[in-house]
């Protein structure tokens, strides 16, 4: 019933917004890469574009959105099935799927030409495969490795999850063969892509923006009197330009990087060198900034960060939104989908959807409780919550550590956090019940001894 209700909301969403949400600049670079299928020099790797390429014969971004809505339901279904297999009751397993199924933020991502839904789907699928049986098989490792790699090729922040999965297998004593298969099966797609990238851009890498992103992160704390960078890195020192979020330094015209000649991403290696030097010189300042930005996640009232980005809403917006005018947009319309247009809400469906409400209390505070419940399960010496909990924490902190906080970047951490929380809570309940059962005979014996002593005296 829960899945059917979530599907009904998504059908209503598709009727309200017949056009998928397309963003400048991300959506159009994804679509352009899907047409020409070569690794972009900067920003996004081509994994999500390969997904879009599969739908190019249909020439419809609306179809892509519909498929992503089905994937959203699939994410919840995998969580439910895995929890049921792990012994949770139906209501408990269904409860863990509520954020994924009913939070408007997830549904808006599904309706957008963005990589997030694909990344979440692949990561949850990999976790499900690895945890489906008590003992991880070679076949499961051979499937999960490429799934994580594909997630990393859709968004590079997911690449280190492969290392977390390998450590999980070691902790579970899965055996050398299983660990080796996992590592090799996951590394091969990444190495193949890096070789493809090198053939086009002359550098063995997955993208050309990691240094620029990390440089932007350091602009909130770097003090060049402490860092003492050599030339030409000194040209990247803070120059007095102030913006409201670390990620905004990437685009701020007055920022030191953007005052250098040429494209900002042509200085990626230089920016990386400066950033690593700044972090090594000021590790505690870097840690303070990461902790402060990460804490925004758990606020009771969502905080706009950066301020130009709207905070998560409890309802769906109604109205019409325009597209900017850029040559790339016209090019994508000619080559991928000629029907691409501004997003608009259609009546009478918009009036029905506008009545939808998702309580804000189920956002930051609930997510914090999820992480606490998952950690509590680990303290019960139950390793079953280890992988989803570690993946959730990593997917929460890594984007902040690499660039900055954005509410959108939190969402990939929510499904594994919900999974870990359900497993952790289940472990706690079972542990308490076991202690109660084991304690009752002892207490009865204690009472019997007490009565004997009373009779004796």
445 assigned to some structural domain: no
Asked whether residue 339 falls in the same domain as residue 432, the answer is yes
Residue 24: the pLDDT is: 85
Residue 446: the pLDDT is: 38
Q: Distances from the Cα of 197 to the Cαs of 41, 42, 44, 45, 272, in angstroms?
A: 8, 11, 12, 9, 18
Burial 361-383 (b: 16+ CB within 10 A, else e): eebbebbeebbebbebbbeeebe
Predicted confidence (pLDDT) per residue in 386-422, tens digit: 999 999 999 999 999 999 999 999 999 999 999 999 9
455 assigned to some structural domain: no
Q: Is 112 helix (H, G, I), strand (E, B) or coil?
A: strand
Asked whether residue 48 falls in the same domain as residue 174, the answer is yes
Out of 298, 331, 356, a domain closes at 298
Average pLDDT, rounded, for the chain:
91
311 assigned to some structural domain: no
C-beta of residue 21 within 8 angstroms of C-beta of residue 43: no
Q: What pTM was estimated for this model as a whole?
A: 0.92
Across the range 154-176, mean pLDDT stands at 95
Above 50 in pLDDT, residue 245? yes
Asked whether residue 122 falls in the same domain as residue 267, the answer is no
Count: domains in the chain: 2
Above 50 in pLDDT, residue 335? yes
Residue 278: the pLDDT is: 98
145 assigned to some structural domain: yes
Residue 319: the pLDDT is: 83
Per DSSP, the residues of 128-185 read HHHHSSSS--HHHHHHHHHHHHHHHHH-GGGTTHHHHHHHHHHHTT--HHHHHHHHHH
Count of CB atoms within 10 A of residue 397's CB?
16
C-beta of residue 110 within 8 angstroms of C-beta of residue 117: yes
| Residue 147 in tokens | 């799934």
420 assigned to some structural domain: yes
Predicted confidence (pLDDT) per residue in 273-293, tens digit: 999 999 999 999 999 999 999
Find residue 246's DSSP bridge partners: none
Residue 381: the pLDDT is: 60
Above 80 in pLDDT, residue 309? yes
What percentage of the chain carries pLDDT values higher than 90?
78
Predicted confidence (pLDDT) per residue in 73-117, tens digit: 999 999 999 999 999 999 999 999 999 999 999 999 999 999 999
| Residue 178 in tokens | 């299983």
Host domain of residue 245: 209-298
Asked whether residue 219 falls in the same domain as residue 237, the answer is yes
Asked whether residue 378 falls in the same domain as residue 413, the answer is yes
Asked whether residue 341 falls in the same domain as residue 411, the answer is yes
Across the range 34-61, mean pLDDT stands at 94
| Residue 249 in tokens | 């330094």
Asked whether residue 283 falls in the same domain as residue 324, the answer is no
Whole-angstrom distance, CA of residue 76 vs CA of residue 107: 12
Predicted confidence (pLDDT) per residue in 349-395, tens digit: 999 998 898 876 667 888 999 999 999 888 776 677 899 999 999 99
Residue 444: the pLDDT is: 43
193 assigned to some structural domain: yes
Whole-angstrom distance, CA of residue 55 vs CA of residue 352: 30
Above 50 in pLDDT, residue 7? yes
Asked whether residue 324 falls in the same domain as residue 256, the answer is no
What percentage of the chain carries pLDDT values higher than 70?
95
**Could you tell me the pLDDT band of residue 313, with boundaries at 50, 70 and 90?**
confident
Whole-angstrom distance, CA of residue 148 vs CA of residue 401: 20
**Could you tell me the pLDDT band of residue 455, with boundaries at 50, 70 and 90?**
very low
Asked whether residue 362 falls in the same domain as residue 432, the answer is yes
Q: Is 320 helix (H, G, I), strand (E, B) or coil?
A: strand
Whole-angstrom distance, CA of residue 258 vs CA of residue 274: 15
Asked whether residue 282 falls in the same domain as residue 431, the answer is no
447 assigned to some structural domain: no
Asked whether residue 263 falls in the same domain as residue 359, the answer is no
457 assigned to some structural domain: no
Count of CB atoms within 10 A of residue 32's CB?
18
């Amino acid at each position: 019933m829960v899945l059917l209700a979530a599907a009904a909301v998504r059908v209503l969403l598709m009727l309200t917004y017949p056009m998928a949400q397309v963003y400048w600049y991300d959506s159009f670079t994804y679509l352009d890469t899907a047409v020409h299928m070569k690794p972009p020099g900067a920003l996004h790797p081509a994994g999500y574009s390969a997904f879009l390429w599969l739908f190019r014969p249909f020439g419809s971004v609306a179809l892509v959105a519909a498929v992503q809505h089905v994937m959203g339901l699939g994410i919840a279904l995998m969580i439910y099935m895995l929890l049921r297999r792990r012994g949770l009751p139906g209501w408990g397993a269904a409860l863990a799927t509520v954020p994924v199924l009913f939070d408007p933020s997830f549904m808006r991502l599904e309706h957008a030409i963005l990589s997030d839904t694909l990344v979440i789907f692949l990561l949850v699928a990999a976790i499900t495969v690895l945890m489906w049986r008590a003992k991880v098989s070679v076949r499961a490792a051979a499937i999960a490795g490429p799934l994580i790699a594909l997630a990393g090729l859709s968004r590079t922040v997911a690449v280190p999850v492969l290392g977390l999965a390998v450590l999980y297998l070691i902790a579970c004593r899965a055996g050398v063969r299983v660990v080796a298969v996992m590592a090799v099966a996951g590394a091969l797609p990444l190495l193949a892509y890096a070789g493809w990238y090198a053939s086009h851009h002359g550098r063995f890498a997955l993208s050309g923006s990691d240094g620029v992103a990390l440089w932007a992160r350091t602009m909130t704390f770097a003090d060049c009197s402490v860092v003492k960078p050599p030339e030409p890195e000194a040209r990247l020192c803070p120059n007095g330009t102030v913006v409201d979020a670390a990620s905004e330094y990437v685009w701020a015209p007055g920022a030191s990087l953007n005052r250098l000649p040429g494209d900002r991403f042509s200085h990626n290696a230089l920016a990386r060198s400066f950033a690593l030097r700044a972090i090594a010189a000021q590790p505690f300042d870097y840690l303070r900034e990461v902790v402060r930005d990460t804490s925004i996640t758990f606020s009771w009232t969502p905080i706009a960060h950066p301020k130009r980005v709207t905070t998560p809403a409890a309802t769906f917006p109604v109205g019409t939104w325009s597209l900017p005018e850029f040559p790339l947009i016209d090019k994508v319309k000619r080559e991928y989908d000629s029907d691409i247009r501004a997003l608009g809400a259609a009546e009478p469906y918009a009036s029905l959807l506008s009545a939808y409400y998702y309580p804000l209390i189920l956002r930051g505070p609930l997510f914090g409780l999820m992480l606490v419940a998952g950690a509590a399960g680990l303290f019960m010496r139950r390793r079953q919550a280890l992988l989803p909990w570690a993946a959730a924490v990593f997917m929460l902190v890594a984007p902040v550590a690499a660039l900055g906080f954005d509410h959108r970047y939190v969402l990939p951490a929510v499904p594994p956090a919900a999974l870990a929380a359900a497993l952790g809570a289940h472990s706690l309940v079972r542990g308490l019940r076991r202690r109660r059962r084991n304690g009752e005979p002892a207490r009865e014996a204690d009472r019997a001894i007490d009565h004997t002593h009373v009779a004796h005296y």
